[in-house]
Structure 1
Amino acid sequence: MANHIQAIRGMHDVLPDQAPLWQYAEQVIREVLGAYGYNEIRTPIVEKTELFKRSIGEVTDIVEKEMYTFDDRNGDSLTLRPEGTAGCLRACLEHGLLANQAHRLWYYGPMYRHERPQKGRYRQFYQLGVETYGMAGPDIDAELILIMHRLWQRLGIREKIRLEINSLGTIAERTAYRESLVGYFKTHLDQLDADSLRRLETNPLRILDTKNPAMKAVVSGAPALMDYLGEASRAHFDGFRQILDDLGVAYEINMRLVRGLDYYCNTVFEWVTDELGSQGTVCAGGRYDGLIEQLGGKASHAVGFAMGIERVLALVESLADVPVSRTVDAYLIRVGERAERVGMRFAESLRSEVPELKLQVHCGGGSFKNQFKKADKSGAEFAVILGDDEVSRGEIAVKPLRLENVAETSQASMSERQAVDFFRQRYGKK
């Protein structure tokens, strides 16, 4: 038995029969973000380790346990990006994009964390990230919610996902709340699990987000952050909610919703589902006004979110009817020496005149029967048949292959010009 090299645990291949679903979701994402005037930014998957230590924080699970970090040949410490916000902000600062400017940006690609692989949680996983800079009001917070709301509708999964929102207030308000929270939990140390005891000294707000059912009672008795918010923070949250109410976007206020990173402030939100087991968070984000200054920039405003692509695809895949486009529209069968030469020329002409058509040409020879089987297996709607007899008559045969073409069940012979017109009418731009 051959000793085949396998993929790294938690890093998966996307096979050809799976790729159309990814392409469909990616196309919808591009269209929705384009409709809101957002611009794509592409950043490296490797950054200096210092970037993530300064943005995420050295005393976090991500930095301490999950990052893929290594020294390159120059002795520099580099890290495969565990998230996209830091790299996006680094690029904007480096290229001077934030000098008294407002930006709406998005990025898409793989992220890396050394976690225990399970359904919906991988070591290489794909994220859509959206970041906005230079806008202070609750309207831009709400716009991000509207983008996701529209995206869920376009993908057909809105009913599978619910929106939870909260406010973390300003850094100062959260600091005061943190002191009160630590004081409360220290009086209940015997009820805290190991993770919570560790977080008590590093990130006590994360205790509120525990998934341990045994912690439910002690967490429910903890002080509420909302009680520590000042007038401006409350007004921001109320304005955010008012926009969602005006536009009929349903949400739940989750007083225990926090984000795992210290740079978040004011609005935070999560889109969650009950259909993916423990990995129920599909999209999460919020406002992080303090991070720009933390990375060396001039203090400004920022709000964004990250969406897990694999989790979204799992929800889309569960739909009864997923509108995934065909990989092949037409399959060209060539039988005979002359047909092979003429067929290749015709295929290139057809692609030039109908660029939207997905045309696959049979290569490698074989009998008509064998080629026809492969045409059917390709999933194409039509077989385009060219033999030496057709070449001598100056004709091309077109035969429907799918049941949805019941009105066109018979094979039709036509000229090359007629064939081009036939496929342009069916697949060309309207």
Structure 2
Amino acid sequence: MTHGHTEHTGHTGHTGAGNAYWPPYGEQQGVPYQRTGEAGHLAAERPEPVTEPVPEPPARTEPAPKAKKPGRDRYLDLLRSIALVRVVVYHLFGWAWLTVLFPSMGVMFALAGSLMARSLKRPAAGVIRGRIRRLLPPLWAFSVVALALMFAGGWNPSEDPDHGGTWGLISFVNYFVPIGAPPYPWSLGDKAGLLENTWAVQAAGPLWYLRAYLWFVIASPLLVWAFRRVPWVTLLAPLGLTAVVGTGLVTIPGETGNAVSDFAVYGSCWVLGIAHHEGFLEKVPRYLSVSCAVLIMAFGLWWASGHLGPDGWDLNDIPLAQATWSFGFVVILLQYSPSWQELPGRLAKWDKLVTLSNNRAVTIYLWHNFLIMATVPILDRLYELPFMDDSMVSALDSTYAIWMFLLVWPLIGLTILGVGWIEDIAAKRSPRLWPNGVQRKGSRRRS
């Protein structure tokens, strides 16, 4: 289970409005070319011909470049889609090197920070209420199903030594307002049962991201205010905090320590999103920002090499390496941000899936681990088929994870159809079953 994903980024928000578009380039065309005359003494040797005055043609001017239409920044949408796919693949295969190849959570937090900064042009209280409103209903739907299955599986919180007592009961509120860590049994059922006995941990584990996201949202007005006054301090302070609480120099016990660590590790990425929206990164020469980012990333890898966890190079187990690698990675992504309004070239064929995944990002993230586990009892039915001899059983065993990967995407699609529309209700939009952009384009009014 990764503890440093999603995520959820850049100085522009999820949506394109407020993006830092590239300035128009090129001078105006069509201005008549003015030639200088010949040498003066040559002109004086010949009589000047009598000609009728020729009216001077009107100067041609190039129309001013059209302002970019407000809309989503498809480059940032593409990054969010890649991050979601990477999270699913990581949780399915557990490949530690994926955390180095693409630090999804740092990217997602940066994107969310940029969007939040854009929204804070409006009164902060209303923006925060809107973000919380969009987050909670999808969480409630997930929590109702997860808790029902836990109770049906025989979990009794009052008898759980880790979650008993009054405080354990109070912590159930985190299933509905994620201000802390929700309780769940570390083992439920049988290892040979329909679901593995750690399914509750796997299902509820990703909820840490919602907790971190909520606290970032609440802190954003203060972070934006601080960034506009002391940008470098605000940008780098979370890295300094990670060096304190993420290295064992100062230990904060329990879930409070986990929450502080998450906030520190991904805080600089969130502030990078604010910087992207504010146009701060454009003021830094690209060669300088990229060079510094590479040095910070190199430090992250160096630190990781001396502090490898149980899963080797999994940066989720190494907070300071995760923070510095994600920070440098996001800086480079945002410095080269092309601010596409449409996906170019061959990427255009992925437009519908990118649109769908961005419209259902919360649903995909909340349910993907649950659905990965749901592939197991489905695939296990294949062993019961009458034509499954020893060779076919062996082939299925060796390719089991691949079949899980192929099966989880249809299950994610069914989940989007089943509960994804709750995201629309939470955003006060009309419910849509499959919001991949087709209906929006087809519903334009005819003139």
TM-score normalised per structure 1:
0.22
Report 1 or 2 for greater relative contact order, CA contacts < 8 Å, sequence distance ≥ 6.
2
- TM-score w.r.t. length of structure 2: 0.22
